[in-house]
Structure 1
Amino acid sequence: AYMSHIGANNVVVKQFSKPLSVIKSPYVLLVAAYIVACLMSLAVSSATGLGVLLMATLFPMMTAMGISRPAATAVCASPAAIILSPTSGDVVIAAEKAGLPLHVFAVETVLPVSICAIIVMAAAAYFWNKYLDNKENTPMERVDVSEIETHAPAYYAVLPFLPIIGVFLFNGETIPGLYLDIYTIVVLSIFLGALVDFATKKFDGRRTLEDLDACYEGMADAFKGVVMLLVAAGVFAQGLMSIGAIDNLLGLAESAGAGGIALMMLLTLLTVAAAIATGSGNAPFYAFVELAPSLAAKMGLNPAFLIIPMLQASNLGRTVSPVSG
């Protein structure tokens, strides 16, 4: 909200639209944007954080290049279904329960599945969004770059990308021992953006603070929508676990004497259903993964055989949930 208000997003659109204008098909652009968004998930392991980041950076660029708004928002929402970050909390827990070193689990078992998923979802994004846009006559008009009004200087194009730069800079490895989470980085980016705006407006403090109102209004919009959904989903998920619903479902699966593949499919379907119902990927996965090692031992299976599909299913279910943040 703040980047849009001070004109930084328009500067980004104007600067980046020029080289992208050589690609004539908006659907090819859509696929390219989707792949870029998936790569950004390497740096941002939070699904909600990634969605916010993509809406602030990629979304205005995609719509300016002629991609319809529904298709552009779908691209911003769908990368949360892909697991690329080896430092994501659910990947760390999954590796631990599978009894494998994190780098082995993330690279040798999860990554090949994720690459296959990216290829399939990119193809689906191309054909499905094209079909829906044609079916619903969704307007897809490129914005004439010359018509975009920018009252901000060209260097403002860097400001919307400060969170992405911060994620790579403060990951604990680039600068050893210095790690900041995505939320701290976003707040720091707002502060730096305000300082740049303050200097650009010839140190007019009143005007800078008035511009920051847009940031606070954006926070309020996010709180009444995203934050309250997250709270409600968390309470619901905890309620399901507290009344023993999840334990009962797993007990039924075990007592039914399901075979290895049948058990894996059942656990995967349960994880998807719980993720869609709660809007959280981690809550159902954390609940189900606790029992995977013991179930695998009883069936004579490798725990990873049960855990990897559950891990993918929890992320996919969250992405299609109507109550996901």
Structure 2
Amino acid sequence: MTELLIGLVITIAVGYYIVKGYKAAGVLLTAGVSLLIIAGLLGHSVLPAKVISTGNLFTDSLEYVKYMLQYRGGGLGLQIMLLCGFASYMTHIGANNVVVKQFSKPLSFIKSPYVLLVAAYIVACLMSLAVSSATGLGVLLMATLFPMMTAMGISRPAAAAVCASPAAIILSPTSGDVVVAAEKAGLPLHVFAVETVLPVSISAIIVMAAAAFFWNKYLDKKNNTPMERVDISEMEVTAPGYYSILPFMPIIGVFLFNGETIPGLKIDIYTIVVLSITIGAIVDFLTNRLNGKVTLENLESCYAGMGDAFKGVVMLLVAAGVFAQGLMSVGAIDNLLALADKAGAGGIALMLLLTALTVAAAIATGSGNAPFYAFVELAPQLAGKLGLSPAFLIIPMLQASNLGRTISPVSGVIVATSGMAKISPFDVVKRTVVPVVCGLITVILGTVVLVPMYA
């Protein structure tokens, strides 16, 4: 329990200093490295198995920082920089203004920005079927839907929360989490994903959409949040109308190429964004009457956006990753697992306990996968002892891990969306917390009603 107490104290300290206005990246890095050093002093392994030790406790901690710079900077970080660069480029050449101008006409009959917010949330949830990564989807939505949402009168925190939330509930039947969950539940994938999980997921999404409507409306009124609705009649649009398709090129590309929609052709998100930037540059080049100098000058805005993303978003992701590894290395998660294993509760009480522990671990680490993969190993054993159906325990845990990540100020999706929106992660979490709680309650009730408790 000492390790769990250490993790709890440092996590509270992180939240305190970030709220006090300290730079989040520096706070998380300091806390993460401190946890790694403490883990080593307590006799725990500082580094995961895939990272080779330097032979020294202190330099091992720094080795993990280097690993995260390589892993997140070159992987997810590159994706974020590309999408941020693309978004900056679209703004610079006037494509985003064209989108707002054109979409404002058919949407003008919807007077409430909160109805638009719900519609955007539903669209974002459907996008999760094509993009499995929560952070990747959040960044994609920030680069495409966020400018349009804010221009139509949705406040920046509310719009960022919409972009951060769609992966909170799992819809995709082929998600890695769902595949593992089906295996541990002892059910065929189609039975588990479609007949068991999907009805619970759809119910939770409906409830979360309604909660987002009322909660964001309440917060905007309470905090007098600035609304940025653009007066379309005064908006200056210099780009031609056909530029309106350009901001949506990454989304179109995801549906066309990030799977087997076109047989034999599969392109990942990185190449899709590069392709979208290339198409934008070609269209801009032709529109400017083959003026290569102007085209290349416009592209500079893309590179500047990528640089800003590394400074404001990617380093936060690296720091959050180091902090999460520190919590796991010090043994805080193992202590939570031990608590669950010792629980001598009935079926519903055990399900609630496992769900609560999964949420707590997801909030603390900022990861949706790690807590679920750790706790799901316990479910079949505990279910067997009590004669319960493993699915009855696993489904709430599956959803709880993703819901918990959506209210973690150190999770990749919250850090990325808040960074791109230029607001605090806590401003986004404040917007997601009530819909997430409502979604979690719906998941628990849906499981009790729809999933047999006993095997």
The whole-number CA distance in structure 2 between the counterparts of 1:315 and 1:254 is: 22
The whole-number CA distance in structure 2 between the counterparts of 1:41 and 1:81 is: 10
Q: What is residue 272 of structure 1 aligned with on the other side?
A: 359
The whole-number CA distance in structure 1 between the counterparts of 2:143 and 2:162 is: 13
The whole-number CA distance in structure 1 between the counterparts of 2:274 and 2:190 is: 31
Q: What is residue 32 of structure 1 aligned with on the other side?
A: 119
Instruction: Indicate which of 121, 127, 138 corresponds to 1:51.
Output: 138
2:185 paired with 1:98: yes
The whole-number CA distance in structure 2 between the counterparts of 1:39 and 1:202 is: 39
The whole-number CA distance in structure 2 between the counterparts of 1:100 and 1:252 is: 27
Instruction: Indicate which of 71, 76, 79 corresponds to 2:166.
Output: 79
Alignment of 1:2-17 (within 5 A): 2-17=89-104
The whole-number CA distance in structure 2 between the counterparts of 1:152 and 1:167 is: 25
Worse-matched range after superposition: 238-247 or 209-218: 238-247
Assess if the C-alpha contact under 8 Å between 1:44 and 1:50 holds in 2.
yes
Alignment of 1:1-325 (within 5 A): 1-140=88-227, 142-325=229-412
Assess if the C-alpha contact under 8 Å between 1:241 and 1:287 holds in 2.
no
Question: Deviating runs (4+, > 6 A) in structure 1?
Answer: none
The whole-number CA distance in structure 1 between the counterparts of 2:371 and 2:211 is: 27
Residues 283 and 209 from structure 1, CA distance in 2 versus in 1: closer, same or farther, beyond 3 angstroms?
farther
The whole-number CA distance in structure 2 between the counterparts of 1:298 and 1:267 is: 15
Assess if the C-alpha contact under 8 Å between 1:229 and 1:324 holds in 2.
no
The whole-number CA distance in structure 2 between the counterparts of 1:286 and 1:228 is: 26
- Superposition deviation, residue 291 in structure 1: 2.8
Q: What is residue 451 of structure 2 aligned with on the other side?
A: none
The whole-number CA distance in structure 2 between the counterparts of 1:95 and 1:64 is: 42
- Superposition deviation, residue 79 in structure 1: 1.6
- Superposition deviation, residue 16 in structure 1: 0.8
Aligned length: 325
- Report which structure shows greater RCO (CA 8 Å, sep ≥6): 2
The whole-number CA distance in structure 2 between the counterparts of 1:299 and 1:203 is: 73
Structure 1 unmatched ranges of 5 or more: none
The whole-number CA distance in structure 1 between the counterparts of 2:224 and 2:268 is: 41
TM-score by length of 1: 0.92
Give the residue type in structure 2 aligned to 1:220.
G
The whole-number CA distance in structure 2 between the counterparts of 1:232 and 1:298 is: 40
- Superposition deviation, residue 141 in structure 1: 5.8
Residues 196 and 86 from structure 1, CA distance in 2 versus in 1: closer, same or farther, beyond 3 angstroms?
farther
Residues 230 and 293 from structure 1, CA distance in 2 versus in 1: closer, same or farther, beyond 3 angstroms?
farther
Worse-matched range after superposition: 291-300 or 23-32: 291-300
- Superposition deviation, residue 17 in structure 1: 0.9
Worse-matched range after superposition: 8-17 or 206-215: 206-215
The whole-number CA distance in structure 2 between the counterparts of 1:316 and 1:269 is: 11
The whole-number CA distance in structure 2 between the counterparts of 1:225 and 1:284 is: 27
The DSSP-based 3-state class of the residue aligned with 2:170 is: coil
The whole-number CA distance in structure 2 between the counterparts of 1:93 and 1:40 is: 22
The whole-number CA distance in structure 1 between the counterparts of 2:225 and 2:324 is: 37
Residues 248 and 63 from structure 1, CA distance in 2 versus in 1: closer, same or farther, beyond 3 angstroms?
closer
The whole-number CA distance in structure 2 between the counterparts of 1:86 and 1:192 is: 33
Worse-matched range after superposition: 32-41 or 216-225: 216-225
Residues 192 and 134 from structure 1, CA distance in 2 versus in 1: closer, same or farther, beyond 3 angstroms?
same
- Superposition deviation, residue 105 in structure 1: 2.2
